[in-house]
Amino acid sequence: MGDSGSLDSSSNLLRATSFYTIIILLCVLLYGMKVIRAPSLGRAHELVVRYILQEGSFLRTENGEDTVETDEVCLRVETPFERPMSSACSRFKEAFLDSYAHNLLFGSDAVFEYDYHGRLFDWGCGLCDASGEVHCDQVRYIVEKLRASPESRRAVGVTWCPPVDGKLGDCPCLQLIQCVVRDGRLDMKVVFRSNDMLSAAGANMFALARLQEFVAKEVGAAVGAYTHVSLVPHIYFKRDAADIPPFCQEGRAFTPSEVVCRACGRCGLSRR
């Protein structure tokens, strides 16, 4: 992709992507959003899974997978390092989550169509200027911006790369991170265009809180609140049916919708 664009064009695309995401957020805020407040990331994960399994509407995706989804949702955790950081109901335990967070912060040797470490610490996607490939460390930008101006609202990083991502079979779900410092605490706000809340959100939140901690230490601030916005939160209720019973406890904790229960088939509720 050596001739895929200039630095000016990539900068314009970056600004346009940020502006587009902000406009979406403003529209969401104007029309209202489901807000889930929880004392820990693990509990937030449990509550959002319950909400989608109970209230979600059926949608078959463009890839032919059956999901239930809701309108946009916001998870707010004032103390993201309060335990449990991950739900005991999730099949992904902390050893896996520690590895996932390490890879986000420091990269890995695995090869994917994209990864969040690359998009946040080395954004460029093969775009070029006159001197070669573009490499933008957005996390370093956030740190330096907040060191210079702790009151700034411009400490933002984005992942989307329009010339590349529109052609990918698997494109980034995380779109934007923003860090702000208020009263000596660094808050992180993240936006996902789409989020698998059952199988991915727990790991996403865990790793991004570790990124929040990393930035806070670099800036010299305490870790503040973590806000996680998903514009299209969903669950693959057929593909991941085996992961549902630990959350609903076969109807003892809560009762998922009929379409979910019928697909799961692991307790008497499937015969409703």
Active-site positions read 173
For the stretch 22-31, contacts whose Cβ atoms lie closer than 8 Å and that sit 24 or more positions apart, written own/partner, are 24/191, 24/231, 25/191, 25/229, 28/72, 28/229, 28/231
Q: How far is CA 244 from CA 33, 111, 256, 271, in A?
A: 25, 30, 9, 16
Residues 112-137 as b/e (b if ≥16 CB within 10 A, e otherwise) read eebbbbebbbbbbbebbeeeeebebe
Task: Select from 186, 129, 184 the least CA-distant residue to 155.
Answer: 186
Contacts of 213 (CB under 8 A, 6+ apart): 81, 223
Q: Is the peptide bond before 84 cis (omega within 30 degrees of 0)?
A: yes
**20 alpha-carbon distance from chain centroid:** 17
